[in-house]
Amino acid sequence: MSLTAWSACDVLAAFRTKTLTPTEYLACCLARIVLVNPKINALAATDFGTARAEAQEATARWQAGQPKGPLDGLPIGVKDLQDAKGLLTTHGSIRARGNLSTTDLPMVARLRDAGAIVLAKTNVPELGAGGNSRNPVWGATGNPFDPNLIAGGSSGGSAAALAADMLPLCTGSDTGGSLRIPAALCGVVGYRPSVDVIAHPTRPLGWSGLSVLGPMARTMDDLILMLSVCQGHDADDPLSCAAPPDRFATLAAVDLKDLRVGYSPDFGGAAVDPGIRQTFLSRIDLIAPHVRECRPADLALGDMDRCFDILRAESFVAAFAEALQTAPESLGPHIAGNVALGQTMTLSDRAWAHLEQTRILRKFNTVMQEFDVILLPTSPVSPFPWSQPYAHVIDGQTSDIYYRWLALAYRGSLAGGPAITLPCGRDPHGMPFGMQMLGAVRGDDALLANARAFETLFAQSETTARPRADLEATPSPRIDPRSIVTHPPILNGGTLDTNQISTAV
């Protein structure tokens, strides 16, 4: 196994024993990026020069036995919706393609304070809208298992970078599945925490818990390590809460034989491809003998689609209505469509949606009294070509809006509990299959402990183990993912700094 395929925990252990230095490890990551990123276009802006300097400093600290923090010298990726000082944060939008961040998002600052090296920004859909990470600034991100297919979104660049062994940890965010969908489609781990866990002080609607920040990794231990660093309170996020710094350091050991497991193949009736449904049910058959109880869970919690439509549209009006009015040419059709949808809604619609979400949460609480964890598919379809904006038809049902194929994930967002997706083998098309797990509201510690136990179970069988992408053996994409760029990124008044811009540009 190459060094870049090592887990973050194994890399850090090697730093501690001085059998590997941050400088050596970074060099391997950079070589890997140069080799495979042109195929999948997962990374946006990069800063190799600063990363090398920081790796040298981290190497000196480890040699002296004085690491800066638990992530000292570990290179990471930051989603291109999140500010990282000294790097472009374009949001995949032509209106921000020259936006050089001067500060860190608090979550990113926590990672830096722990010693992480912010090596790259990871690609997203324009302004994070939708489940396909393609935009006019950086182009499209392909799936490491087949670069012609989607990596998911909006954290698609992060998921693809992890699956391609370019970086060991990446940040993400999740409103309606933006962490979980790409993690599932690329065969990595993505966690949507409860709203109080990771402060999100840039959330436009500060009192809405629909959008959260979260970690992405290849293993549960790596994800828990990253979460331990990221978690915490910020006064500008009224929904975040202070917690002990070691909250996730000593999760309880879980015996699967004690777990009451509920499952639903469609989250109360969402459209699911028959092949995905059968794959999920076959996984349930494999899981059932290992747990105390495994039976269907009734997740018909209310009018979840209409509720999400209104709450999501409300957030788009809040974030983009003014920009759309002053510079409509700078925003794509998805953004304009979401804002227009929101502007057709009334105060009565908004009141109904908030009431319905409250009812959904309370019904979910009642269901969770019967189970310790609920299992579902994460994505209703196998990855499709990235040239296709979204999944138009699923099991004969035509989508009424471009994000409806994300229903298995966004319905969980409405329920209010934490959610995680674990890689669980492959689907009928040979692509990664993601197993989604829902926990009780504010039940992060228990869900993480349960997920770690399931990860151990899944690793014991080739059918359910995490699949590995082989990009060296994968042919180049039929269509260059950079070919859809219409407005390349700019820096310093329009000139490109090749030390700061990704090799994919």
Residue type for position 271: A
Question: Is the distance from CB of 90 to CB of 126 less than 8 angstroms?
Answer: no
User: 181: closest CA among 452, 411, 447, 434?
Assistant: 434
Q: 3-state DSSP call for residue 220?
A: helix
What's phi and psi for 412, nearest 5 deg?
-70, -35
Question: CA nearest 150: which of 386, 381, 382, 380?
Answer: 386
Instruction: Pull the structure tokens for residue 184.
Output: 């599932």
Cβ atoms 384, 149 nearer than 8 A: yes
Q: Say if residues 135 and 125 touch (Cβ distance below 8 Å).
A: yes
**Of 171, 166, 192, 195, nearest in space to 181 by CA:** 192
**What phi-psi label fits residue 380: left (phi over 0), alpha (psi between -120 and 50 degrees) or beta?**
alpha
Q: Yes or no: say if 235 and 253 are a contact pair by the CB < 8 Å rule.
A: no
Catalytic status, residue 154: yes
- Which entry of 154, 194, 379, 382 is annotated as an active-site residue? 154
Q: Is 39 a catalytic residue?
A: no
Question: Which 8-state DSSP code applies to residue 258?
Answer: G
- Integer Cα distance of 382 and 181 in angstroms: 11
484, with CB counted inside 10 A (0-12, 13-18, 19+), is middle
Cβ atoms of 446 and 439 within 8 Å: the answer is yes
Residue 232 backbone zone (phi > 0: left; psi -120 to 50: alpha; other: beta)? left
DSSP code at position 108? H
Residue 174 carries which side chain, given as an amino acid letter?
D
257 is catalytic: no
Residue 43's DSSP bridge partners are: 122
- Tracing tokens 């809006």 back to the chain, one arrives at 401
Residue type, 98: G
- Which one is catalytic: 155, 178, 315, 382? 178
* Catalytic residue list: 79, 154, 178
